[in-house]
Amino acid sequence: MASMPTSRLYRPCKANRCPKTALQARSGHSSTADQAGFALVAVIWSLGLITLLATAVIVGARYRTKMTSSLVSVTSATTAAESAINLAIMTALTATPAQTVKFPLRCRMPGGEQLTLTLEQEAGKVDLNTATPAVLARLFTALTFDQSMGTRIAARIVEFRDPGNNRPKDLGPRGSDQKTGNSENAGFTTIMQLDQIDGISPRLFRTALRFVTVRSGRPEPVAEAALPALRKALGLDQASVGADHGAPVNGSVTIRADVSTPDGVRFIREALVSFSEDGRPYLIREWRHGNIDPGAHALTQREAGLADEGCFRIGGAVGS
């Protein structure tokens, strides 16, 4: 058998054309490309995580700043409202006929807060302890727009204030004067107990607070001292004094301070104050948070223009 030529068995590689060498070169290039791609993905993910963390830190810082600013504004408004109530008390005690300040009073507090200060005489409100059932029924009928509901609420108020004459005494805890916290004295000690009456919803409770009292002692409110809405609801004599009136020197009043801060925070503070009672010039009987009517505004543009005068400048003029 003839042997094959040696030249056919051995062919040297020429100019890097050896198949094995080319395969090795291609394999190394592919491995390098995979490593570069993985590194690029890792970098992109790292940048994304860093961006998310930075965004979270910035949002958190802004939220904390906003919360801190809101708390500062609420604290400022609360302080301004309580200062305004003290101003109203001072004005009522020191005013003379020639220096009477008319209420509602609109002015600017030292911190820039806009203030509306009003005095509501308790004699012009419906007394929960002494009002007749008919007056109570007319009030709550007007507030609920339902005569049967108004009549039922009036009956429950009468039952609450005088449980001995309106229900058996053997009804257990509900038959006793547990709501008032004193078994010997029946009746309302504060208007905040109105929410314990069956049928009084939270919304009705907030609305009714402006029109009721426990300090009048009258069977029906005095028309001249009542708010216009109450006079209309009860059908009282519409002939009354104007909206602006001076500070009383005796009796009980609710002083209402409506404060708006420059950054839009609004806060209402109320104080029930009795003048010239029990041998004292005045006595703060109760502090309350006033309800903000969602449909109301703090001050119109015209009123804001009239509120440029400093509140303590007015008080200083009265007290001088």
- Residue 30 within a domain: no
Domain limit, last residue, from 214, 229, 256: 214
Tell whether 179 is covered by a domain.
yes
Instruction: Work out how many domains the chain is built from and give that number.
Output: 2
Residue 130 sits in the same domain as residue 210: yes
Tell whether the model's pLDDT for residue 299 goes beyond 50: no
Q: What pLDDT score does 61 carry?
A: 78
pLDDT over 90 percentage in the chain: 35
| 225 and 115 fall within a common domain | yes
If asked whether residues 298 and 273 sit together in one domain, one would say: yes
Q: What Cα–Cα distance (Å) separates residue 317 from each residue in 101, 214, 245?
A: 10, 34, 18
The CATH number given to whatever domain includes residue 203 is 1.10.40
Residue 293 has pLDDT above 70, yes or no: no
- 119 domain residue, yes or no: yes
Based on the fold, state whether residues 108 and 230 are members of the same structural domain: yes
Residue 11 lies in a domain: no
Do 202 and 249 share a domain, yes or no? no
- Say if residue 295 is in the same domain as residue 147: no
In a domain, 263, yes or no: yes
Domain boundary among 193, 214, 235: 214
State if pTM tops 0.95. no
Same domain? 195 vs 132 = yes
Q: Flag whether 10 is in a domain.
A: no
Statement to judge: residues 227 and 320 lie in one domain: yes
User: Mean pLDDT of all residues in the chain?
Assistant: 77
Within this chain, do residues 293 and 205 fall inside the same structural domain, yes or no? no
Kindly state whether residue 291 falls inside one of the protein's structural domains: yes
- The band of 45, judged by pLDDT with boundaries at 50, 70 and 90, is confident
Give the residue numbers spanning the domain of 163. 126-214
Could you read off the pLDDT of 238-288 as tens digits, one per residue?
Answer: 554 444 555 566 789 999 999 998 888 889 999 999 998 878 889 999 999
Residues 102 and 245 in one domain: yes
Q: Is residue 61 part of a domain?
A: no
What is the pLDDT, as a whole number, of residue 134? Answer: 96
**pLDDT-derived band of residue 29, with 50, 70 and 90 as boundaries?**
low
Which residue would you say has higher pLDDT here, 143 or 9?
Answer: 143
Question: What is the per-residue pLDDT across 47-94, written as a single tens digit (0 to 9) for each?
Answer: 888 888 888 888 777 777 666 667 787 888 889 899 999 988 988 888
Highest mean pLDDT pick, 16-25, 170-179, 213-222, 237-246? 213-222
Residues 100, 182 within the same domain: no
Average pLDDT, integer, range 222-230: 90
Q: 93 and 111: one domain?
A: yes
Q: Which of 230-239, 247-256, 310-319 has the lowest mean pLDDT?
A: 310-319
Boundary of a domain, candidates 214, 242, 266: 214
pLDDT single digits (tens) 93-139 = 886 666 666 788 888 888 888 999 999 999 999 999 999 999 999 99
